[in-house]
Structure 1
Amino acid sequence: MSGQDVQHGTGVTSNRAFPTNYHPGNIDPFVLFERFYIDPERGFPMHEHRGFEIVSYMLEGGMDHEDSLGVTHTAYEGDAMRITTGGGIEHSEFPADDAACNGLQLWVNLPEARKEVEADYDDADAGSLPTREADGATVTTVVGEGSPLDLHTPMEYLDARIDDEWTWTVPDGWAGFLYGVSGAGTVDGDAFGQGDVLPASEAGSVAVESDDDPFRVVAVAGRPHGEEIVQRGPFVL
């Protein structure tokens, strides 16, 4: 399944993994996932969010973040930011250094009992995200064991650069997805490349094999809340 190209009203483009015309639903506990591309002098002016958490992970260039908590921060390639929107936060996102940037953004639902938690922000530079050599791949943990970023939902977010064959295992009772970042290969024997998406709603192992070094994917899984996800633009009710 391929992601769908989306044009935001601010002039920003993205390739959205879900929800799309191809996969209209969410993947509990995840609200949406997309790769964004921001040209110079484009971006997202100050706007409000409520009811979920945001993980932004930079692939190329830098992105300036500013929010109503008084935080200003620039994230560059390999850096990540986490925003807990909770009961409400305003923030802006613009490319840094008068240059284009692109990255990945994940929205994670907050469980009903935590929808109104106090808004919060944290970030992690590339050097603080643990990277290990696994069989057939080099894997960076953006969220999960060893990462300084914590969310209100138990989850794991892996960035895998595959040079042979790597096995991704979805923990029992969790749900998630694979997304192709660059290069090409196969997933359980089927062709898979940049912008492709594989939802994974059941526990099990997925064989990811490289045809084009480096073949890069992100693998995201989390514990479902078992609650309806109701998105209204920038709010998740």
Structure 2
Amino acid sequence: MRNVLGFNSRKSVSSVRNIIMSQSDESPVFSKPRLVLKKVLARNVNHGSRLMVNKNIASEFKGLDPFLNLDHFSVTHPVGFTDHPHRGFETVTYMLEGGLVHQDFIGNKGTIRAGEVQWMSAGRGIIHSEMPAGVGTHTGVQLWINLSKKDKMIEPSYQDLLKENIPRAAKDGVEVKVIAGEALGVKSETHTRTPAMFFDFKLHPQAQVHHNIPETWNSFVYVLEGEGVFGSPSSSPIGPSNVVFLGLGDGVSVWNKSSEPLRFLLIAGEPLNEPVAKYGPFVMSTQSEIEQAMEDFQYCKNGFENGRHWRSQ
């Protein structure tokens, strides 16, 4: 896929706690609440008659270490994401509607459907395809997460999270699917090499949620449906397809003051604080490593050996 989180031994997120408040606008006592730094509307970009990817916002993610990019995609059979390589980072694909069939050059094949996740660590190299699972329109989001320099050349691996295995919780008008991390007293067993959290929140009308985030982590929100007030109860509502970049702090507050449900993704992660070099589907630490990745892919070596004869079905 073009450019489109669980616990880590380096830092447990078990200390992260979240609080559901009453219907008032009184916030919990965050010593440093996270406020909105900016919002970016992801506009549709048509890459073909049946493939549409919301505006590539990779440039907006500069400085949001460890995150690299987010895409909200829509594909219609038979068009999809044909054979392409990756090296040096992870992709998290979360299906919202329909399904996506995945194949790779080491023999893995499977389908993720609405409400399911594929967490792929590309490591030293993968060539794969992601195609719509049947007729109709298939939509989802894909997040790119950087790997640390020590992990960039690991063997590729996958975590497929089926819908029934993703923990859920609900309280006082707030529902959450815990893809990675811990929320409303439930936690995910998803393993993340970079400490991170990934939640799908739904707030019913007049509900609110206040969630703690480790103070030094970077975080953002992607609004899927409805309008939400983020950071401060006096802020203006923000609607669908907006990426909301949050400032540093120890927690974020969200209110749904509308008469319709609000659904959003809340994503946060610990910065790697390492150099980043990017070129297309490769994310490494130096320009020379990017050049080596290009050469390895071209000549099918150093992790790309199976690419010499493999083509997806």
TM-score, length basis structure 2: 0.71
* CA distance in 2 between partners of 1:212 and 1:85 (Å): 42
1:177 pairs with one of 213, 216, 220: 220
Looking at secondary structure, tell me which structure has more helix per residue: 2
The residue correspondences of 1:99-110 to structure 2 (distance < 5 A) are 99-110=136-147
Q: Distance in 2 between matches of 1:149 and 1:143?
A: 6
Paired AA for residue 266 in structure 2: A
Note the 1:31-180 alignment, pairs <5 A: 31-145=68-182, 146-163=187-204, 164-180=207-223
- Quick check: which has more Rg, 1 or 2? 2
For the residue of structure 2 that corresponds to 1:179, the secondary structure is strand
Q: CA RMSD in A?
A: 1.9
Deviation at 1:135, TM superposition (A): 4.5
Q: Pick from 16, 19, 30 the counterpart of residue 67 of structure 2.
A: 30
Q: Structure 2, unaligned stretches of length 5 or more?
A: 1-38, 285-313
Question: SS where residue 184 of structure 1 aligns?
Answer: coil
How many Å apart are 1:179 and its aligned residue?
0.6
Looking at structure 1, the residues matched to 52 and 83 of structure 2 have their Cα atoms a distance apart, in angstroms, of: 18
- Which range moved further: 129-138 or 4-13? 4-13
For the structure 1 residues 24 and 115, does the alpha-carbon distance in structure 2 shift closer, same or farther, using more than 3 Å as the test?
closer
C-alpha distance after superposition, 1:93-137 (max 9, x if no partner) = 111122210011011000011110111112011110111114541
Task: Tell me: higher relative CO, structure 1 or 2? Use CA pairs within 8 A at least 6 residues apart.
Answer: 2
| Alpha carbons of structure 1 residues 148 and 46: separation in structure 2 relative to 1, 3 Å | farther
Q: 1:11 to 1:230 in 2, by over 3 A?
A: farther
| Displacement of 1:212 | 4.2
Aligned counterparts of 1:4 and 1:209: Cα–Cα separation in 2: 25
Aligned pair in 2 of structure 1 residues 110, 11: CA closer, same or farther (>3 Å)? farther
CA displacement, residues 147-179 of structure 1 (integer Å, 9 cap, x when unaligned): 243221110000000111112332221101011
Residue matched to 1:220: 267
Aligned 8 A contact 2:99 2:133 in 1: yes
Q: Which has the larger share of strand?
A: 1
Whether the aligned pair in 2 keeps the contact of 1:159 and 1:216 (CA below 8 Å) is: yes
Q: 2:276 and 2:43 mapped to 1: Cα distance?
A: 20
The partner residue of 1:12 within 51, 56, 62 is 51
Q: CA deviation at 1:59?
A: 0.5
**Is 122-131 or 5-14 further displaced after alignment?**
5-14
TM superposition shift of 1:68: 1.7
1:140 Cα deviation (Å)? 0.7
Code of the residue aligned with 1:6 in structure 2: it is V
Deviates more, 1:35-44 or 1:134-143: 134-143
Q: Distance in 2 between matches of 1:55 and 1:169?
A: 22
Q: 1:109 to 1:9 in 2, by over 3 A?
A: farther
Determine the structure 2 residue equivalent to 1:194: 240
**How far is 1:201 from its partner?**
4.1
Structure 1 unaligned regions, length at least 5:
none
Aligned length: 235
Q: Do the aligned partners of 1:175 and 1:203 also contact (CA within 8 Å) in 2?
A: no
Q: 2 CA distance for matches of 1:119 and 1:67?
A: 10
How far apart are residue 6 of structure 1 and its match? 3.3
Report if the CA contact (8 A) 1:10-1:43 is conserved.
no
Equivalent pair of 2:76/2:136 in contact (CA under 8 Å): yes
